[in-house]
Each structure stands twice: as structure tokens, then as C-alpha cells.
């Protein structure tokens, strides 16, 4: 077999080293190329009427806003999320990684919400008159 013959000619040290070398190159390139989007949301994390999504979790829990407020939803993950009221009173739709979404809450009350893509992600919005 030509493939087997070719593989027999590959030096042993190369076979032993190739996977670790490829793994290290992949890690270095990933860290160099991939943007860290943490800074995009950090400055806004304490802003009022803002929900930050990071590590598949909403923050703050709960958020308290006044009726008629617009809540800014900052997705600090690299994957798409939504912030959707369980009763569908509000819904950001898909918010891509590093993107922002906005919802307006027009009714007072306590609203449980979740991410429709990752349903274990939940939170609560308290809307005061």
C-alpha cells in the first residue's frame, strides 16, 4: 500500500510531536485571533435598565425598572441568546454574541423571562408603576 509505505517513511519523532505541536498552534492562534468581547459590556454592566448576559446567565436578578422603560440587553457571550418574557409580553428576538437588544416594558408587574435558545437561562423583571 502506498499510504502505508509513505507513513513508514515519516520519522518517529515527527509522529510523536505532530499532535502536541498542532494543539499548541491552535491554542495560540485562537487566543490571538478571537476577540474578547468582555470589555464591550463591562462598562455598561452597572448602567440602569440594563441586563447583561454572560456565561449563559442574566444579570442583575431581578432587574427593577419603571413602566415605559426601555431595557438594554447586552449579550456578552459569543453565542446567540434571547430575553423573552414567559408570557411573551416582551422579547428581544435573537441577540448575537457581542450584540445588544432592546425591549420596552409598558405594563407594571413581575415578569419571569428566559432565553428561548437555552431554556435553563431564566430571570425576573420587576416593573413598577
Partner 1 sequence: MSPRKPLLLLVGAVAVLASGYVHYYLYFKGGYRNIAPDSVAGLTISRAFAFNAIAGPVIAWALVVSLRVPKLAVPAALAGLGFAAATLVAYLLTRTVGLLGFDDNQLTWEAVVAFGAEVAAIASLGSWLVIQWTHRLAWFEAAPSGEA
Distance CA 17, CA 8 (A): 16
Of the pair 7, 112, the CB lying nearest partner 1 is at: 7
Nearest to 100 by CA among 42, 39, 57, 41: 41
Asked whether position 104 contacts partner 1 by CB under 8 A, the answer is: no
Of the pair 22, 108, the CB lying nearest partner 1 is at: 22
Kindly determine how many residues on this chain lie close enough to bind partner 1 according to the rule CB under 8 A. Answer: 33
Distance CA 42, CA 74 (A): 10
Q: By CB under 8 A, which span of 44-52, 60-68, 73-81, 100-108 interacts with partner 1? A: 73-81
Asked whether position 99 contacts partner 1 by CB under 8 A, the answer is: no
Cell of residue 21, nine digits: 505541536
Amino acid at each position: 500500500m502506498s499510504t502505508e509505505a509513505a507513513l513508514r517513511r515519516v520519522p518517529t519523532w515527527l509522529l510523536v510531536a505532530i499532535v502536541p505541536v498542532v494543539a499548541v498552534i491552535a491554542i495560540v492562534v485562537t487566543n490571538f485571533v478571537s476577540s474578547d468581547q468582555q470589555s464591550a459590556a463591562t462598562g455598561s454592566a452597572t448602567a440602569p435598565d440594563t441586563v447583561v448576559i454572560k456565561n449563559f446567565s442574566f444579570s442583575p436578578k431581578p432587574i427593577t425598572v419603571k413602566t415605559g422603560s426601555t431595557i438594554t440587553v447586552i449579550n456578552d457571550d459569543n453565542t446567540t441568546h434571547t430575553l423573552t418574557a414567559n408570557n411573551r409580553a416582551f422579547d428581544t428576538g435573537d441577540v448575537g454574541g457581542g450584540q445588544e437588544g432592546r425591549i420596552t416594558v409598558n405594563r407594571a408587574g413581575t415578569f419571569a423571562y428566559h432565553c428561548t435558545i437555552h431554556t435553563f437561562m431564566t430571570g425576573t423583571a420587576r416593573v413598577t408603576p
